[in-house]
Chains A and B, each alone.
Chain A
Amino acid sequence: AQSVTQLGSHVSVSEGALVLLRCNYSSSVPPYLFWYVQYPNQGLQLLLKYTSAATLVKGINGFEAEFKKSETSFHLTKPSAHMSDAAEYFCAVSDLGGRSAGGTSYGKLTFGQGTILTVHP
């Protein structure tokens, strides 16, 4: 079973400030973790993913996330917010990591509740 919890449904920052969006996961198999961004009335765009390689993952648009197994966290950060970063962000966990244990998986994603990021000028 898998679940994702995003702490904070809304985050507001000033332009140029640090962005920190929190994500904690629960998974019965080694997790594959993802961050997606969604702009209004659009689909999801992948920002970055963790698939059991380096624990610090760099993505597009200056975002990065660190996988911390001891804390079951995968928080998303960006050093300096830009107005164009305003959107909704979703953390997700996949069950594909269970394949290494001989399980079957279609790679279903379980999403967190989403965090709306607002950037003030």
Chain B
Amino acid sequence: GAVVSQHPSWVICKSGTSVKIECRSLDFQATTMFWYRQFPKQSLMLMATSNEGSKATYEQGVEKDKFLINHASLTLSTLTVTSAHPEDSSFYICSARERGGLAGLGEQFFGPGTRLTVL
């Protein structure tokens, strides 16, 4: 149980285009999903927290107009990188907290990540 998927697993795009990354909780309902980015040989940095049906909360320094997050249902959140540039190339990882259950224990279940390369 508690599986989180991401799609695509990797994507290469041209500078100036937009890219959408999906994060799905496959066997549980996720009231809260988190989006992280990870640069090579670095730790995970939280970008934003999204709650189903409400606007995402962005961390300081993260441009909300550039990184659009939609959490339309209890099993799906999307991250759209708009007008991508080479400096946006990174490993993007989502995680989800289960509704009820282990949510009170703070456990997040992580997706496998999406490698974005902007040429």
Q: B-contacting residues of A (Cβ < 8 Å)? A: 32, 34, 36, 41-46, 49, 51, 90, 94, 96, 99, 106-114
| Contact of A108 with B93 in the complex, beta carbons under 8 Å | no
Binds A, one of B14-22, B64-72, B77-85, B99-107: B99-107
> Could you list some 10 contacts between A and B, CB below 8 A?
A34-B106, A43-B6, A43-B111, A44-B95, A44-B110, A45-B110, A96-B104, A107-B106, A109-B34, A109-B95
CB < 8 Å neighbour of B42 from A46, A109, A113: A113
Residues of B within 8 A of A49 (CB): 105-107
Residues of B within 8 A of A51 (CB): 105-106
User: What's the Cα separation between A44 and B44 when bound, in Å?
Assistant: 10
Question: Chain B 84-119 against A: per-residue CB contact (8 Å), 1 yes, 0 no?
Answer: 000000010101010000011111111111010000
Q: Closest chain B residue to A91 by CB distance?
A: B43
CB < 8 Å neighbour of A94 from B32, B51, B106, B111: B106
B49 sits at the interface (CB 8 A): yes
Interchain nearest-CB distance for B114 vs A (Å): 10
| Contact of B113 with A108 in the complex, beta carbons under 8 Å | no
- Evaluate whether A32 and B105 lie within 8 angstroms (CB atoms) in the complex, with A106-B51, A108-B49 already known: yes
Interchain nearest-CB distance for B52 vs A (Å): 12
| Contact of B112 with A90 in the complex, beta carbons under 8 Å | no
B13 sits at the interface (CB 8 A): no
Q: Closest chain A residue to B44 by CB distance?
A: A111
Residues of B within 8 A of A44 (CB): 44, 93, 95, 110
- Evaluate whether A46 and B44 lie within 8 angstroms (CB atoms) in the complex, with A41-B115, A108-B34, A108-B49 already known: no
- Sorted from nearest, which 4 A-B pairs have the closest CB atoms? A96-B106, A94-B106, A43-B110, A44-B110
| Contact of A114 with B104 in the complex, beta carbons under 8 Å | no
| Contact of A109 with B46 in the complex, beta carbons under 8 Å | yes
Residues of A within 8 A of B93 (CB): 43-44
Residue among B95, B97, B110 facing the most chain A CB atoms (10 A cut-off): B110
User: What's the Cα separation between A107 and B30 when bound, in Å?
Assistant: 13
User: What's the Cα separation between A44 and B112 when bound, in Å?
Assistant: 7
Residues of A within 8 A of B95 (CB): 44, 109
User: What's the Cα separation between A19 and B14 when bound, in Å?
Assistant: 43
Residues of B within 8 A of A94 (CB): 106
